Amino acid sequence: MERLTDLTVTQFTDILASDAPAPGGGSVAALFGACGASLAVMTANLTIGKKKYADHWNNAESAKTVGLPLIEQFLKAIDEDTLAFNRLIEAMHLPKDTDEQKAARRAAMEEATKEAANMPFHTLTLCERTVSVLEQLSGRINPNCASDFGVGAAAIQTAARGAWLNVIINLQSISDEAFVQDLFDRAKAICDDVIARAEILFRKIDAECRPVCNQIEG
């Protein structure tokens, strides 16, 4: 199977816009996460080496070191989310002619659905780590890339919201109540935390850019 991350942007969006059930929101949430982490690293790179921001070089290098692996993990999650969904579809297509087959099918579907819920939860954990990188860079980057930083914060917020929705949609089909409650609680806590922290970062950038808008508006 061709990896989604090997497709061109046009090929990816063509598949996304088709009637194919996957890739879907979970893979897109991971893609947003990859974009957010990439923009964080971009702002670090645009700070490193600029003499005017020499005091921030070490911080930017540190953030970059953490951010680069996060990009790769988000990209991996794009395909893994779709693969998890495909495994669920395979389980749904198992035979159900006998009681034994029905039981085996239910068990396979339960495990596949748990995996389908765990995958976007993993994306959420990556979002949590990425927002920490953005916080590390906040106020200590080349101001010329402030808008890029702001888009990175917005992308991570969107990634977290998308991953959360994909966690809870899968939890609805799982009969293991302890698993459902545990993953729901952990996912909600991370999602709420990431959204709040990313919103602070975005609003800070917005406030910094708004005086220019005020001048334009006259």
Domain CATH number, residue 184: 1.20.120.680
CB crowding 71-84: b at 16 or more within 10 Å, else e: bebbbbbbbbbbbb
Residue 78 confidence (pLDDT): 96
Tally of CB atoms within 10 A around 165 = 15
User: What is the pLDDT averaged over residues 1-19?
Assistant: 91
Q: Identify the band that residue 1 occupies on the pLDDT scale cut at 50, 70 and 90.
A: low
**Domain membership flag for residue 154:** yes
Element (H, E) at 17: helix 9-17
Tally of CB atoms within 10 A around 3 = 12
**Domain membership flag for residue 105:** yes
**Domain membership flag for residue 15:** no
What pLDDT, in 10s, does the model give residues 85-109? 899 999 999 999 999 999 999 999 9
User: What is the pLDDT averaged over residues 70-91?
Assistant: 94
User: What is the pLDDT averaged over residues 194-212?
Assistant: 90
Statement: residue 211 has pLDDT above 80: no
Residue that is written with structure tokens 């989310």 in the block: 81
Residue 169 confidence (pLDDT): 96
State how far the alpha carbon of 122 is from the alpha carbons of 13, 77, 137, 199, in Å.
23, 8, 23, 21
* H-helix segments, 138-176: 146-171
Q: Is the peptide bond before 120 cis (omega within 30 degrees of 0)?
A: no
**Domain membership flag for residue 69:** yes
Residue 103 confidence (pLDDT): 94
Residue 203 confidence (pLDDT): 95
Question: What's the pTM value of the predicted model, to 2 decimals?
Answer: 0.93
Residue 208 confidence (pLDDT): 85
Residue that is written with structure tokens 């850019």 in the block: 209
Residue 213 confidence (pLDDT): 56
What pLDDT, in 10s, does the model give residues 115-155? 999 999 999 999 999 999 999 999 999 999 999 999 999 99
- For the chain, give the mean pLDDT: 94
Q: Domain containing 149: what range? A: 22-209
Total structural domains in the chain?
1
Between 214 and 50, residue with greater pLDDT = 50
**Domain membership flag for residue 14:** no
**Domain membership flag for residue 218:** no
**Domain membership flag for residue 147:** yes
**Domain membership flag for residue 6:** no
Residue 21 confidence (pLDDT): 86
